[in-house]
Amino acid sequence: MREEVLAAVLSANKELPRDEPEVAANIGLQLEHMGLSTWSISVRRRIRDSISLIEPKRIIQTGAGIGHLSAWILDHYENKDQLEHFQMIEEGNRFAVILTRLAQRYSAVPTSIVVGAPSLLSSELKAWSISKSGDAPMLPGADVIIVDAPMVRLAGEINSMLPLLSKNGVLFTVEPTPPVGDRDTDDPEVVGFNGWMELIKESNGTHHLAFAPLFGGTIVAWLPKE
């Protein structure tokens, strides 16, 4: 059963190192100095483990930031020939410069950096798929997609990325925390969380979903139904 496969994919790979790679640890320190948030080490380690079990040819990571999770992936593939392309997508040019330096550090891994909003890039990709004029704005498909976005944009970005999954591809994100306190119905976070709940409900008809509760967050994964 495909849903059982998905649950197995979210399990830990005990054959891989449990310690954080040195480059990723240094990026974590940078994040602290910059006052930026990041996924917990348990989440980052488990996503690396899951990717190792899937053995993808192509990976798309949106919301790459300054490359905290990216460094785990790059470190895993540094001495392997399995990966054809790892594409990091980030909206800001400032962070793209940092990602470029990270990619240069792991120059043996086939990597590209794209600057832009994932939802906009996916729309441009649809137009490109009709005309096939010039280069594609982003990878037209992937075996693993990782989406990291604020709650107000999370559901929309996942919706735009799900069609890019290969037949046996898996999309990963982290479940958002429900907004607390007395909020208006038009509060952006309330709207965003309602969008998330609607995404879970609707995508359940087209994809298998699995949840992996870990220290510091719950990973959510999608696998297309046959």
> Is the whole-model pTM more than 0.95?
yes
Which amino acid is residue 84, in one-letter code?
Answer: E
Whether residue 68 lies inside any domain: the answer is: yes
Whether residue 150 lies inside any domain: the answer is: yes
Question: pLDDT value at position 93?
Answer: 87
Length of the chain: 226
* Structural domain harbouring 111: 2-11+21-175+182-224
Question: pLDDT value at position 163?
Answer: 96
Work out the burial of residue 54: count CB atoms within 10 Å of its CB; fewer than 13 is exposed, 13-18 middle, 19 or more buried.
Answer: middle
Q: Are 89 and 114 in contact (CB under 8 A)?
A: yes
Whether residue 115 lies inside any domain: the answer is: yes
Question: pLDDT value at position 143?
Answer: 98
Whether residue 16 lies inside any domain: the answer is: no
Token pair, residue 169, equals 């591809």
Whether residue 196 lies inside any domain: the answer is: yes
Q: What is the CATH number of the domain that holds 209?
A: 3.40.50.150
DSSP 170-226: EEEEEPPPPP-SS--TT-HHHHHHHHHHHHHHHHTTTEEEEEEEETTEEEEEEEE--
Residues in contact with 36: Cβ distance below 8 Å, sequence separation at least 6, in sequence order: 65, 66
Number of domains in the chain: 1
Question: pLDDT value at position 141?
Answer: 97
Low-confidence ranges of the chain (pLDDT < 50): none
Whether residue 205 lies inside any domain: the answer is: yes
